[in-house]
């Protein structure tokens, strides 16, 4: 089934938005480096890699369906925050925005009866649940920690143990 142009446009926009997400997390990472919170910086670098892999899933889907990908200008991300809590609050908010965007692509695919795109999006629905839960959980721990430096350093160590992102998927629908 030939992929519809409206759907190509929406997926292409999301592909570019995932790259914007990667930029955001890298910007957060360098802020954490400056604060000497190297575990949180590491967590953000892994997240940057994950966002790049998300972009590549959309890229693969479009190319697998015979559509052309158009790379677009990526906006400059925010560079300064007041606290680690504020960074993760922003990260959680960003993930809710991403989820809403992906649901809208799902609505278009539903309307067009494009089951191939729906199948590809199923992975993203689960991934967004996980990403929202992760960023919300860290944000909430930082709220509990408040001004406690020892607790902040303990959480930093914990987040520094995040395993590296997996390889870029060769197909858009691999689990």
* Site of interaction with ligand FEO (CB under 6 A): 18, 21, 51, 54, 95, 98, 131
From the CB of 52, what's the least distance to ligand FEO, in Å?
9
Q: Looking at beta carbons only, is 54 or 141 nearer to ligand FEO?
A: 54
Task: Indicate the residue among 4 and 128 with the shorter CB distance to ligand FEO.
Answer: 128
Which residue's Cβ has the minimum distance to ligand FEO?
54
Q: Say if CB 125 and CB 110 are below 8 A apart.
A: no
Considering the complex, state which of residue 15 and residue 152 has its C-beta at the smaller distance from ligand FEO. 15
Based on CB atoms, which residue is closest to ligand FEO, 100 or 113? 100
**Rounded least distance, CB 150 to ligand FEO, Å:** 30
Residues 6+ apart with CB under 8 A from 138: 43, 88, 91, 155, 159
Structure tokens of 3? Answer: 């992929």
- What does the alpha-carbon distance between residue 98 and residue 96 come to, in Å, rounded to a whole number? 5
Minimum CB distance to ligand FEO, residue 11 (Å): 13
Distance of closest approach, residue 28 Cβ to ligand FEO, in angstroms: 12
Residue whose C-alpha is closest to residue 128's, from 25, 26, 44, 54: 54
CB of 100 to ligand FEO, least distance (A): 11
Quick check: 25 and 47 in contact, CB under 8 A? yes
Return the number of the residue (145 or 165) whose C-beta is nearest ligand FEO.
165
Q: Which of 165, 153, 166 is nearest to 39 (CA)?
A: 153
Residue tagged 């940057």 (tokens): 48
């Amino acid at each position: 089934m030939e992929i519809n142009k409206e759907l190509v446009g929406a997926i292409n926009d999301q592909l570019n938005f995932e790259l914007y997400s990667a930029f955001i997390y890298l910007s957060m990472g360098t802020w954490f480096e400056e604060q000497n919170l190297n575990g949180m910086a590491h967590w953000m670098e892994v997240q940057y890699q994950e966002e790049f892999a998300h972009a590549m899933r959309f890229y693969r889907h479009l190319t697998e369906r015979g559509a052309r990908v158009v790379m677009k200008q990526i906006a400059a991300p925010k560079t300064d925050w007041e606290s680690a809590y504020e960074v993760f609050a922003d990260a959680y908010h960003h993930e809710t925005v991403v989820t809403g965007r992906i649901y809208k692509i799902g609505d278009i695919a539903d309307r067009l009866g494009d089951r191939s795109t729906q199948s590809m999006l199923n992975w993203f629905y689960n991934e967004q649940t996980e990403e929202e839960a992760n960023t919300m959980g860290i944000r909430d721990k930082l709220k509990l920690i408040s001004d406690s430096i020892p607790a902040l350093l303990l959480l930093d160590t914990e987040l520094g143990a995040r395993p590296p992102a997996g390889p870029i998927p060769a197909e858009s629908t691999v689990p």
